[in-house]
Structure 1
Amino acid sequence: MLRRDFLAGTAALISGLTFGKVNLTLPTQTQTAKGRVTNAKTGQPLPNVRVSNGITVTKTNRNGEYQLPVTDDTIIHVVKPRGFKTPVTANQIPQFFYIHKPNGSPATKYEGVKPTGPLPSSIDFALTPESEPDKFRIVMFGDPQPRNQTEIDYMSHDVIEQVIRDAADQDCKFGISLGDIMFDNLEFYEPLNQSIANIGLPWYNVLGNHDLNFDAPDDDLSTETWQRIYGPRYYSFDFGPVHFVILDDIKYNGREKGGYTGELGYQQLTWLRNDLKHVPADQLVVLCMHIPLGGISDQKEFLEVIKGHEHTFSLSAHTHLQRHDWFGPQNHHHLNHATVCGCWWGGAPDERGIPHATMSDGGPNGYSIIEFNRNDYKVTFRPASRPMDEQMAIYLPEVIESAKSAEAELVINVFAGSTKSTVEARINNAEWRAIPNVPGLDPYIQRIKELEASEKPPLGRKVAGPNPTPHIWKTTLPANLPVGTHRLEVRSTDMFGQTYRDYRTFRVS
């Protein structure tokens, strides 16, 4: 019996959920894992700490003890509670799990888990006390996705060096990468992790569709290399007053059929339901995935699972653009996050030899600093290798005829804007004028594609797109502008109350 069949059966027994035909017969190789969770400084037991086998979520008793059923393919993980930290590797990867695979992983191109041997008599977790305030910040990455060492070097110089300074200035507590850590070649996990480790923060990782063992026969065995390096495919932890959930929404179709679909699946949704049973309804829950929520087949089931929680926020990457959406009757906020690699490090190189990596919505590659304060959060996009307040691009003709100025189109791309943003403009310190949100294509990325199609295209890999984006604002200029040079000022305010300004000069003839 496969691991997922066993766990689905266990889930149905424990939670009473129904998922169609589920085999409830427990396999003969089922064992009971036992262990303790303790304070690493004092050795004292830690009661009421959650521990999971990937479907059941239990709590330690007053002696710090727990028990969970396991098969010969189970990862036990502790749910890091508030006020404690887990160990990390030299590459800053949190160690909150124990892998039980007595026979190890099947042979694949990229190494999986080595045989772990018999189930230990006690699987223990020692957690170190730390101070975790109500208000804190983290770093968020989408798709680092290097193909090779050259692209890891791009990332190191274009993004990591900036994040080292930024994360220190902002006192960030940890980071998360939203999948596609790699671009199929899994042998580069180690140098990539070494690069990110230079930031000096514990770093959590989400599984992406380019992080799989593509020679695996099915989805069940497609994450063996991932598990060896990062641990479970999905898990949760607390930091301060916030509950973080890392999800796997990649269903691999296997090496014969190939490809993948966006799906959480009944096993993971059951685990999520069990996990959230232990989270107060008024606590902020942040859920991280790779494929956007709008692209998974069990979106409705996911929204059903989280609907009992008043404050939820989810993030994804995958699409190599940035947009905010809202789902379901609870108006659940989902951010499809910008990517570190832009569109796979495409575009002409700059003076450093690094591609401009513009995303398909016309926005730059980059990352975010996210601030949490109890149940509130604020996302601040950071464009790579640009001033941090460079948050938009303004498009106007260089020269405009005075008699035709009312026909001149002004286009503004607010890189991290949403339908809840406001955008205003004024010319030469006149009155501010509201600009309507008109989703569409970014003119700059359209121009890049025209150049790429020309007889003498620019150097570098072609960029993706252009793709429509909701963060475009359009209007026309006032009629009969006087001849001369003018200053256009644009002011944008996002859904979090953050205001940015930018300027463009233009000539009227």
Structure 2
Amino acid sequence: MAMRTPILSVLLLSAISGNVAASCMEGRVVDPDGDGIAAVRVSDGRQLVTTGDDGRFAFAAAPQAPVFVIKPAGHVAPANGEGLPDFWRQPDATDCSFVLRPEPVTRDALEVLVFSDPQTSDLREVGYYRDDVVAPLVGRHTAALGVTLGDVANDDLSLYPAINAVTTMLGLPWLHVAGNHDLDPADDARSLHSFQAVYGPDTFAWEEPEAVFVGLDNVIAQPAGSSGYTGGLRPGQFDFLKAYLPTVARDRLLVVLMHVPLFDAPAGRETFRPADRQRLYDLLATHPRVLVLSGHRHTLQHVFHDAASGWSGAKPLHEFNVGAVSGAFWSGAPDAAGIPDATMADGTPNGHATLLVRSGGDYALAWHPARVGDGGDATTAMGLHAPRVLRRGAYPAWGVYANVYMGLPDTRVEFRVGEGDWQPMRRVEAADPRLTIENARDDLADALRGRDRSPEAVPSTHLWRGALLTGLPAGEHRVEVRAFDRWQGEQRASTSYRLDEWVD
């Protein structure tokens, strides 16, 4: 179906430009019958106030950023005209009232769809986003909330309405944080005009019975003539966090949503301002259950922050650096449907994550590749690589590799050949052999295999190796791999190799 390129409304942009006359210094939160709702927090990303018995609120100072309600658990924010949650207003809005619908929550757990870096550059790539990731989920997912961790677009911010039309096909309240490719070409104070015109607050909170979500824009645009951006936070964001975090129920999971990871990547290069990271650590460390979800890297990785990095919480801070919806920027050879392979540089297929949170704050994570086979050497949990044929009796120097996408350093991964005993596999930091083969195919091709080549393979943090047996009888041998996922339990995949006799 053809899609037209929409243009952001000048009126929307003007709503947050310059020195606005703030009509949102006061307002009201009501139910669908117009009755005020008490004890609802309202913020402009810096100040935090609470509604009175009549649902009214008032700020001490004129807000300079979008005003939002912190949706309480057990309430629903209605959708706006684009199908996104109607929980914010521009600071100069003529009507600063909000409607929340009380709705009891009856579920065993909260499921969240977690997207990062759709990063669409044009309408063709918006179509990839729709057909590759979103359409297969429509009518099939069981989630109650969705989030995007930045780089919604790839610099062309006029694509936001087209992207939203795809995302809202999933029928969920959807929250967005800003990424470095969501910035207007301006200084830091004005770099989010387009983002705020469509998605509202760049700092916000949203509450569910099982978890509290705090979204933080952590992309600091640098002055002209210097590096384009760095990771960090602003004084107003710390004001908000200092006021809000002490009110968060300690029996809920606190989920922090951001784009730039807290860890410096690549290692040895400062990509997040150390002082800002430490201040954030100090504010989060008092909460017993914290999970950080970040994006930006277009690889998939788990990092556990501890005392060595300045974290002082009772247990390490888990940061899940989520892989990209766009994978390696929609690159690689296309499939039969014309969708690029998009495998990321660490060998992870493009796709999305899910977060499942139960009462009390326990959580489970999973990665869902956009395209996998049914069984065989590619499953939703891992991809395998083994040579097709080896000489029978050769020194066993050749291995089977398992890229266990959600693997942690302590994940137990084992393999067996045929019905033999299970043997441990060794975690290695190396390039995924499947992607290095794609790199070689691109190198050897006489013509372009796709619009953009697959990325050059980099060492993966979730790759395991086992040495294949060569002393078995000649013929085909099945290799089975099992990985014990912390959250999803035992996962299996299989492949095969052949042993041939060498005849001089």
- On the 8 A contact 1:31/1:69 being kept in 2, the answer is no
Question: In the alignment, which residue of structure 1 is the partner of 2:29?
Answer: 37
Task: Give CA-to-partner distance per residue, 1:74-126, whole Å, 9 cap, x none.
Answer: 3221100001111212332112112124xxxxxxxxxxxxxx5xxx5x73221
- On the 8 A contact 2:349/2:371 being kept in 1, the answer is no
SS, match of residue 286 in structure 2:
coil
Structure 1: distance between partners of 2:138 and 2:445 = 41
SS, match of residue 404 in structure 1:
coil
Task: Give CA-to-partner distance per residue, 1:340-383, whole Å, 9 cap, x none.
Answer: 11111100111111111111111110012221102111112111
Structure 1: distance between partners of 2:227 and 2:207 = 36
The reply to whether residue 383 of structure 1 matches residue 357 of structure 2 is: no
| Cα distance, 1:275 vs structure 2 | 1.5
Structure 2: distance between partners of 1:270 and 1:357 = 40
Question: In the alignment, which residue of structure 2 is the partner of 1:141?
Answer: 115
Match of 2:403 among 392, 397, 413: 413
- On the 8 A contact 1:493/1:500 being kept in 2, the answer is yes
SS, match of residue 407 in structure 1:
coil
| Cα distance, 1:465 vs structure 2 | 3.1
Match of 1:319 among 287, 293, 297: 297
User: Could you state the TM-score of these two structures normalised by the residue count of structure 2?
Assistant: 0.87
- On the 8 A contact 1:303/1:328 being kept in 2, the answer is no
- On the 8 A contact 1:91/1:193 being kept in 2, the answer is yes
- On the 8 A contact 1:55/1:270 being kept in 2, the answer is yes
The reply to whether residue 464 of structure 1 matches residue 455 of structure 2 is: yes
1:31/1:385 CA distance change after superposition, 3 Å: closer
Question: In the alignment, which residue of structure 2 is the partner of 1:97?
Answer: 88
Question: In the alignment, which residue of structure 1 is the partner of 2:133?
Answer: 159
| Cα distance, 1:51 vs structure 2 | 0.9
- On the 8 A contact 1:348/1:355 being kept in 2, the answer is yes
- On the 8 A contact 1:439/1:471 being kept in 2, the answer is yes
1:403/1:188 CA distance change after superposition, 3 Å: same
SS, match of residue 437 in structure 1:
strand
CA-based RMSD: 2.1
| Cα distance, 1:71 vs structure 2 | 3.2
The reply to whether residue 193 of structure 1 matches residue 164 of structure 2 is: yes
1:464/1:341 CA distance change after superposition, 3 Å: same
State the one-letter code of the partner of 2:103. Answer: E
| Cα distance, 1:134 vs structure 2 | 5.5
Structure 2: distance between partners of 1:144 and 1:32 = 32
Match of 2:286 among 308, 323, 335: 308
SS, match of residue 384 in structure 2:
strand
Question: In the alignment, which residue of structure 2 is the partner of 1:442?
Answer: 432
| Cα distance, 1:244 vs structure 2 | 0.5
Question: In the alignment, which residue of structure 2 is the partner of 1:77?
Answer: 68
Moved more, 175-184 or 465-474: 465-474
Any stretches of 5+ residues in structure 2 without a counterpart? Answer: 1-18, 265-271, 308-312
1:31/1:502 CA distance change after superposition, 3 Å: closer
SS, match of residue 181 in structure 1:
coil
Question: In the alignment, which residue of structure 2 is the partner of 1:106?
Answer: none
- On the 8 A contact 1:245/1:286 being kept in 2, the answer is yes
1:78/1:304 CA distance change after superposition, 3 Å: same
Structure 2: distance between partners of 1:386 and 1:197 = 24
Moved more, 313-322 or 444-453: 444-453
| Cα distance, 1:481 vs structure 2 | 2.4
Question: In the alignment, which residue of structure 1 is the partner of 2:4?
Answer: none
| Cα distance, 1:213 vs structure 2 | 0.6
Moved more, 305-314 or 325-334: 325-334
| Cα distance, 1:411 vs structure 2 | 1.3
| Cα distance, 1:28 vs structure 2 | 13
| Cα distance, 1:252 vs structure 2 | 0.6
User: Could you state the TM-score of these two structures normalised by the residue count of structure 1?
Assistant: 0.86
| Cα distance, 1:472 vs structure 2 | 0.5
Structure 1: distance between partners of 2:250 and 2:398 = 51
Question: In the alignment, which residue of structure 1 is the partner of 2:52?
Answer: 61
Question: In the alignment, which residue of structure 1 is the partner of 2:175?
Answer: 204
Structure 2: distance between partners of 1:387 and 1:379 = 21
State the one-letter code of the partner of 1:34. Answer: E
1:28/1:35 CA distance change after superposition, 3 Å: closer
| Cα distance, 1:387 vs structure 2 | 5.0
Question: In the alignment, which residue of structure 1 is the partner of 2:104?
Answer: 131
| Cα distance, 1:30 vs structure 2 | 8.6
State the one-letter code of the partner of 1:196. Answer: T
SS, match of residue 189 in structure 2:
helix
State the one-letter code of the partner of 1:379. Answer: L
Question: In the alignment, which residue of structure 2 is the partner of 1:333?
Answer: 318
Match of 1:354 among 339, 348, 352: 339
Query: Alignment identity in percent?
Result: 30
State the one-letter code of the partner of 1:137. Answer: E
Structure 2: distance between partners of 1:390 and 1:231 = 35
Question: In the alignment, which residue of structure 1 is the partner of 2:210?
Answer: 241
1:399/1:308 CA distance change after superposition, 3 Å: same
The reply to whether residue 371 of structure 1 matches residue 342 of structure 2 is: no
SS, match of residue 165 in structure 2:
helix
Alignment of structure 1 residues 397-408 onto 2, 5 Å: 397-404=387-394, 406-408=396-398
Task: Give CA-to-partner distance per residue, 1:145-174, whole Å, 9 cap, x none.
Answer: 11100011111111111121431xxx2112
Question: Aligned pairs, how many?
Answer: 459
- On the 8 A contact 2:22/2:64 being kept in 1, the answer is no
| Cα distance, 1:508 vs structure 2 | 0.8
State the one-letter code of the partner of 2:321. Answer: N
Question: In the alignment, which residue of structure 2 is the partner of 1:150?
Answer: 124
- On the 8 A contact 1:175/1:201 being kept in 2, the answer is yes
